[in-house]
Structure 1
């Protein structure tokens, strides 16, 4: 049986499967002053393997890349164009935050309508903060004409 086992090794096909990256969106803050900077960043990111779409917004200093990519590789590729101060997008939209003027959340350099993504801007349910008032508790079911607001 030794010869049959030896020959069966030649007949079996072994394939190694690579793990596919998940589809994701990477947002990067990079300052672009002119059309040349914008074109260089767009061309560098578009040439990455797995990129489906690239959106460049020079006014907001923002690059949005969608595809099957690694976020760190996208950031590294943007930095290779000479934009060494590029970083991941640190902002969230202002209407998504409960406390947009919390310490550390408001940033003068943020584009209009955005604030910095910090923990203090979101409500903390684990602290000893007073609970939110429930509007149904202002009125009494026993006496419908009595109101606790007045």
Structure 2
């Protein structure tokens, strides 16, 4: 009896004919995608805004022409947004800057085109061999671990 009621309710609600195929539809994830797009004038800005705003799933498009930054929010994948921005003929890349907050975490990569208070994003795995060796030597005589020093 329960199966019949579920079938009829699914048919009436339009959930895929009662087989359950409509109930397990994967939901899209909400993303905030930040791009750096080279824009010089109002026409460039309008062209980029129209191209990105017409994508399915886009909720908002915000453009800051002074920083060359485009922020897209919605149910779209970042790579699709990047491809659409590149299709306008403009030079575009994912936003390469992060806020410069802690000077002790990772060596920053300074970029003169970066906005104020930002540095270029780097991967921690791409550390030069000399920096990795310096870090190993610095932790050898650590105050946090007094047993680490083998000379005492």
The TM-score, its normalising length taken from structure 2, stands at 0.65
The Cα shift of 1:49 comes to 1.2
What residue ranges of structure 1 are gaps of 5+ in the alignment? Answer: 1-10, 135-150
Whether 2:26 is the aligned partner of 1:26: answer no
Please name the residue that 2:73 is paired with.
Answer: 66
CA change 1:44–1:108 in 2 (3 A) is: same
Which has more helix, going by share of residues? 2
User: How many residues get paired?
Assistant: 118
* Deviation sequence 1:25-65 (CA, Å, 0-9, x none): 11111110001111111111111111111110101111011
Please name the residue that 1:53 is paired with.
Answer: 60
CA RMSD of aligned residues (A): 2.8
Bigger Rg, which one: 1
| Counterpart secondary structure, 2:59 | strand
| Equivalent runs, 1:1-150 vs 2, <5 Å | 13-14=18-19, 15-16=21-22, 17-83=24-90, 85-96=91-102, 98=104, 102=107, 105-118=109-122, 119=124, 127-131=135-139
What residue ranges of structure 2 are gaps of 5+ in the alignment? Answer: 1-10, 12-16, 145-152
The TM-score, its normalising length taken from structure 1, stands at 0.66
Flag as ranges the 4+ runs of structure 1 deviating above 4 A. Answer: 131-134
